[in-house]
Amino acid sequence: MLADITFFGKAMSLRNAQLEVLTSNLANASTPDYKAKNLNFRAAFAAALQKPGNSVGNTLRYTQYERGSPVGLNGNSVSAEQVMMQITQTALASEADEQFASGAIQSMTNAINTSSVY
């Protein structure tokens, strides 16, 4: 159970880091020569699972430039619509992790309190 909470905790930390990268894309949506970035969640999560405790390590190392997004005349490759969808997806994934972590906490609390029920 504790391992579950750590697992979802790491996933949530990484989703928050991803939200940070996506927000920085959105803030730079009209900056000339800015290129869209995103966190490579799969690689970052695989590395985070190897780390002891609740640490996720340096997530910025797994941040990559987005491939395939068209570059505008001012050298900017951010598509505001695409970034909004990515933010929504990431927030949804983060909420799912929160639900699962909440469930793990709940079942642990139930296990602790069982003696008082019977």
Residue 49 or 65: the one with the smaller Cβ distance to another protein is 65
Distance between alpha carbon 75 and the CA centroid of its chain, in Å?
A: 27
Closest separation in Å from C-beta 90 to another protein = 9
Indicate the pairing of strand 37-39 with strand 63-65: antiparallel
Going 26 to 32 to 36 to 37, the CA torsion angle's sign is negative
CA Rg value for the chain: 18
In whole angstroms, the minimum distance from the beta carbon of 118 to another protein comes to 27
Contact characters 14-43, another protein, x per CB under 8 A:
-xxx-xxxxxx-xxxxxxx-x--x------
- Residue partners of 101: CB distance under 8 A and separation at least 6: 4, 5, 8, 9, 12
> Nearer Cβ to another protein, position 18 or 117?
18
Our finding on whether 48 is near another protein (CB under 8 A) is no
Interface contacts to another protein, rule CB under 8 A: 12-13, 15-17, 19-24, 26-32, 34, 37, 58-61, 63-64, 80, 83-84, 87-88, 91, 94-95, 98, 101-102, 105
